[in-house]
């Protein structure tokens, strides 16, 4: 493990100087995790982290411990962390009654795993939704099934593709039974060109088998290419990962305008982290940031 610390000194918008610490924490180096897109720490099982791949994979999740070691039922002797005689790499926990069209983020509360099938690069999808899976013990359960799928739509989008390509979400978090999505914006008609800005939507009063409407609750003019989000264990801070910066937003004093309060940012340009796609809180003062290649970095917040 590379223990070299990168000490970064810079100024926040408020003019306060502070320091972040970033280190390479571990490299998964696990073939089935080929394009890691989501990561979240369990609230039910100590030192369990849930991961999933991006689009094109089967409907499955993986569990790892705090050192990046794969967790799977030990009573399956024909699987393992690496290939060897008589063993194949663990293929992950299958999620039946689900499909990975474009899974982009994952969130948990005390009981459920929420998987966001919300990738919408061309802003033309009409089957966006969130899978709900009972959180299970990854050391005891081989596979499980989704028990609900919350289909939803953005009421501001009237055409498919949209006139403004502002309806792709790769960031999901949950608070008090409500699901929140943060959008990633593209130049209309240009799938590889991005715009500054992000919208925060809330999903509540959800019903399976119906088309639910996402409620627009906030926006941010400068947040660029949001790729993941996670709420701190005490729900006082929201981490939002972008391709260029990691944002930490303080909880709003009232309501749920999470993108409008005080924030601090870590500039990721030049750190060599790769294409970062996932973020989760490790504890109240540090986070794990993962890139698509499965390399995970620890980020310690300023004091």
The count of C-alpha atoms lying within 13 angstroms of the C-alpha of 130, restricted to the half-sphere facing its C-beta, is 30
Q: Is 9 within the bounds of a domain?
A: no
Quick one: which of 36, 55, 213 has its CA closest to 122?
Answer: 55
Question: For a pLDDT cut of 90, what percent of the chain falls above it?
Answer: 85
Q: Is 88 within the bounds of a domain?
A: yes
Report how far residue 33's alpha carbon sits from residue 35's, in angstroms, rounded to the nearest whole number.
Answer: 6
Q: Is 268 within the bounds of a domain?
A: no
Q: Is 280 within the bounds of a domain?
A: no
Model pLDDT for residues 6-55, shown as the tens digit of each residue? 433 333 333 333 599 999 999 998 999 999 999 999 999 999 999 999 99
Q: What is the number of structural domains in the chain? A: 1
Quick one: which of 175, 265, 283 has its CA closest to 226?
Answer: 265
In this prediction, residue 18 carries a pLDDT of 56
Q: How far is CA 112 from CA 146, 165, 206, 258, in A?
A: 10, 31, 15, 23
In this prediction, residue 81 carries a pLDDT of 74
Model pLDDT for residues 150-204, shown as the tens digit of each residue? 999 999 999 999 999 999 999 999 999 999 999 999 999 999 999 999 999 999 9
In this prediction, residue 1 carries a pLDDT of 40
pLDDT at 80 over 80: no
Q: Is 104 within the bounds of a domain?
A: yes
In this prediction, residue 84 carries a pLDDT of 67
Average pLDDT for 224-248 = 97
Domain CATH for 243: 2.110.10
Q: Is 135 within the bounds of a domain?
A: yes
Q: Is 17 within the bounds of a domain?
A: no
Model pLDDT for residues 116-131, shown as the tens digit of each residue? 999 999 999 999 999 9
Q: Is 283 within the bounds of a domain?
A: no
Assign 264 to helix, strand or coil. Answer: strand
Q: Are 104 and 94 a contacting pair, CB within 8 Å?
A: no
pLDDT at 3 over 90: no
Model pLDDT for residues 280-302, shown as the tens digit of each residue? 999 999 999 999 999 999 999 98
Host domain of residue 65: 28-260
């Amino acid at each position: 493990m590379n223990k070299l610390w990168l000490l970064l000194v810079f100024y926040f918008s408020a003019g306060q100087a502070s320091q972040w610490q970033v280190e390479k924490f571990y490299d998964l180096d696990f073939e089935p995790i080929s394009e890691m897109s989501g990561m979240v720490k369990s609230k039910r099982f100590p030192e369990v982290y849930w991961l999933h791949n991006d689009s094109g994979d089967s409907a499955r999740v993986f569990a790892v411990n705090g050192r990046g070691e794969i967790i799977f039922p030990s009573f399956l002797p024909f699987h393992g962390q690496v290939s060897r005689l008589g063993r194949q790499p663990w293929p992950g926990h299958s999620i039946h009654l689900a499909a990975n069209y474009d899974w982009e983020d994952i969130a948990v509360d005390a009981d459920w795993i929420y998987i966001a099938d919300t990738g919408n690069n061309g802003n033309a999808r009409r089957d966006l939704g969130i899978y709900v899976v009972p959180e299970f013990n990854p050391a005891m359960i081989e596979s499980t099934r989704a028990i609900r799928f919350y289909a939803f739509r953005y009421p501001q989008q009237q055409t498919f593709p949209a006139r403004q390509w502002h309806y792709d979400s790769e960031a999901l978090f949950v608070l008090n039974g409500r699901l929140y999505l943060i959008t990633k914006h593209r130049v209309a008609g240009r799938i590889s060109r991005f715009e500054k800005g992000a919208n925060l939507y809330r999903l509540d009063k959800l019903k399976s088998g119906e088309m639910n409407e996402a409620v627009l609750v906030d926006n941010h003019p400068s947040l660029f290419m949001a790729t993941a989000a996670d709420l701190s264990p005490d729900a006082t801070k929201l981490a939002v990962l972008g391709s260029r910066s990691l944002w930490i937003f303080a909880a709003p004093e009232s309501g749920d305008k999470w993108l409008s309060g005080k924030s601090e940012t870590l500039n990721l340009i030049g750190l060599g982290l790769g294409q970062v796609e996932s973020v989760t809180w490790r504890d109240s003062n540090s986070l794990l940031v993962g890139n698509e290649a499965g390399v995970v970095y620890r980020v310690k917040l300023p004091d």
